[in-house]
Amino acid sequence: MRAAHDDVIERLRLAVPGRVVTDADVLESARTDRSGTFASGRPIAVVYAESIEDVQAVCRIADETDTPLVTRGAGTGLAGGAIAGDGEIALSTERMCRVLEISAENQLCVVEPGILNGDLNRQLAERGLWWPPDPASKDISTVGGNIASNAGGLLCAKYGVTREAVLALKVVLVDGTLLEVGHRTVKGVTGYDLCALMIGSEGTLGIVVEATLKLRPAVMGVVPTIGAYFDSIADAVAAVAAVTAAGLQPAIMELMDRSMLEAVAAHTGLDLASAGTAYLLVQTDGPNALAEAQAVLVEVQAAGGRAEITTDPDAAASMVDVRRQGLPAMEALGALLIEDVAVPRDRMAEMYARIEEIAERYDVLIPTPAHAGDGNLHPTFVFEGSTSDVPDRIWDAARELFRAGLELGGTLTGEHGVGVLKRAFLGDELGDAQYEIQKRIKAVFDPKGLLNPGKVFGS
């Protein structure tokens, strides 16, 4: 039976003194994330855990009092996966931000979940090491959040997603049990891979309290940059396909369509209309970077791209800036719903055509950048009003977009996660049998459904 909120708060204060905050502004900020979605009601408290023992104590109280628990990192999620509402405890990992170990010999580090990806990578860089996951949010998002959402980014086609960059996790279960999953070794096949199961589980199975991360040597040397303008998005997509089919593996391949270029032109005053109606940004890295960039350029030009290679920092910055200005330029146009479909790489042109068709039919602007190397598009619906209040018409258009992505063999979400934003569509992708099995796995870890309720599953 659920205990009274005051009793729960009192128990929390006794168990983890000094970590329990009930100030109205703090509770209010825990209701939302960068998706602009708000939970209904406010959490009863935000608890700032400082240790594994703190997390265990909070979980035990939640379990014993049947109080729902929502774990949060920096609150930068884009799917409402970490928003805490009425009657819930918000458990923050922000104060658990220590680096516990860095080992060059084992190419690993051990960290607490609340450290920011960018802060960690600055420390690693001093040792010539690198943790590859690179969500656009990396300077403001936590490693724990990256793990909870299996974060992607620009470099995934070459360097993999978060799942490929985690060796082991310590996880606190809802009853306070501390579980150690995965291996400190590169290989390990003892039993089911619960470490992989945890990654991307969005706080619904347990709370990640420590992570052993797989590192790479920092990539050294010059990074040539190519900025290519095309007459159509189809040509640009064909260039990407040709690059991949030629066995080339750029570090990043970022695509922008006409409406995104127009937004950037309006925002920056750059004359992009005369340059082209689609833009492809490519960077190569590693010991063969320049030769690889030259081979990429051949493919890009053969596909009709007007392009050049530069290794000059200023010229490269200008090329990169066209892409980087995309988000502020779109934000200047109105409220945004940032979507996240991924399709097989050879269906990208079709996906762009479907997006254009949906934009026309619903009379809505949908600028769409893509991590083209891995077929991950971010169709961004622009509308009047507030991001926290997406109009039904926009949701209808988004629903058609999801359906188009699934029809093309793709997925609802490449890297942002399901959260509350896409839970209504999850069953469409998984099918009934898998949806049922996923819910039963949830019940193995969290039989009472106290961890992040309403996220991922639900309608």
For residue 311, the cross-strand partners are none
Instruction: Give me the least distance between CB of 156 and its own copies, in Å please.
Output: 6
Contacts (CB under 8 A) with its own copies, residues 46-85: none
Residue among 122, 184, 361, 448 that touches its own copies (CB under 8 A)? 184
Say if residues 70 and 83 touch (Cβ distance below 8 Å).
Answer: yes
185 binds its own copies (CB under 8 A): yes
- DSSP letters, 206-266, are -EEEEEEEE-EEPPPS---EEEEEESSHHHHHHHHHHHHHTT---SEEEEE-HHHHHHHHH
Instruction: Give me the least distance between CB of 37 and its own copies, in Å please.
Output: 17
Question: Which stretches within 44-160 are classed as H helix?
Answer: 52-65, 117-125, 143-148, 156-159
Residue among 40, 190, 274, 459 that touches its own copies (CB under 8 A)? 190
Q: Return the SS3 of 433.
A: helix
Q: Return the SS3 of 437.
A: helix
Residue among 233, 337, 397, 418 that touches its own copies (CB under 8 A)? 418
Closer of 160 and 334 to its own copies (Cβ): 160
1-9, 49-57, 158-166, 326-334 -> range binding its own copies (CB under 8 A): 158-166
Q: Count of residues binding its own copies (CB under 8 A)?
A: 90
Contacts (CB under 8 A) with its own copies, residues 90-119: 103-108
Helix axes 289-302, 233-245, angle to 10 degrees: 140
Residue among 13, 53, 411, 424 that touches its own copies (CB under 8 A)? 411
Instruction: Give me the least distance between CB of 269 and its own copies, in Å please.
Output: 34
Position 322, amino acid: V
Q: Are strands 89-92 and 108-111 parallel, antiparallel or unpaired?
A: unpaired
Closer of 137 and 259 to its own copies (Cβ): 137
1-9, 308-316, 357-365, 409-417 -> range binding its own copies (CB under 8 A): 409-417
Give the number of other Cβ atoms within 10 Å of residue 396's Cβ. Answer: 13
Say if residues 341 and 405 touch (Cβ distance below 8 Å).
Answer: yes
Give the number of other Cβ atoms within 10 Å of residue 269's Cβ. Answer: 8
The span from the CA of 380 to the CA of 386, in Å, is 14
Instruction: Give me the least distance between CB of 94 and its own copies, in Å please.
Output: 23
Contacts (CB under 8 A) with its own copies, residues 128-157: 128, 149-150, 152, 156-157
Instruction: Give me the least distance between CB of 199 and its own copies, in Å please.
Output: 7
Question: 159-178 mask for its own copies (x: CB under 8 A)?
Answer: -xx-xx--------x---xx
Instruction: Give me the least distance between CB of 104 and its own copies, in Å please.
Output: 5
Closer of 64 and 389 to its own copies (Cβ): 64
With 0-12 / 13-18 / 19 or more C-beta atoms within 10 angstroms meaning exposed / middle / buried, residue 376 is buried
Residue among 75, 369, 414, 453 that touches its own copies (CB under 8 A)? 414
Closer of 17 and 191 to its own copies (Cβ): 191
For the chain, what's the residue count? Answer: 459
Question: 370-399 mask for its own copies (x: CB under 8 A)?
Answer: -x-xxxx-----------------------
- The CA radius of gyration of the chain, in Å to the nearest whole number, is 22
Cβ neighbours of residue 326 closer than 8 Å, sequence gap 6 or more: 256, 260, 263, 264, 367, 369
**b/e 432-447 (16+ beta carbons within 10 angstroms → b):** eeeeeebeeebeebbe
Cβ neighbours of residue 208 closer than 8 Å, sequence gap 6 or more: 93, 113, 144, 147, 148, 169, 170, 171, 198
Give the number of other Cβ atoms within 10 Å of residue 126's Cβ. Answer: 9
Closer of 40 and 459 to its own copies (Cβ): 459
Question: 440-459 mask for its own copies (x: CB under 8 A)?
Answer: xxx-xx----------x---
Instruction: Give me the least distance between CB of 84 and its own copies, in Å please.
Output: 21
Contacts (CB under 8 A) with its own copies, residues 280-319: 286-288, 291-292
Residue among 249, 283, 380, 452 that touches its own copies (CB under 8 A)? 249
Residue among 317, 434, 448, 458 that touches its own copies (CB under 8 A)? 434
Say if residues 66 and 44 touch (Cβ distance below 8 Å).
Answer: no
Contacts (CB under 8 A) with its own copies, residues 344-363: 344-346
Question: 193-232 mask for its own copies (x: CB under 8 A)?
Answer: xx-xx-xxx---x-----------xx-x------------
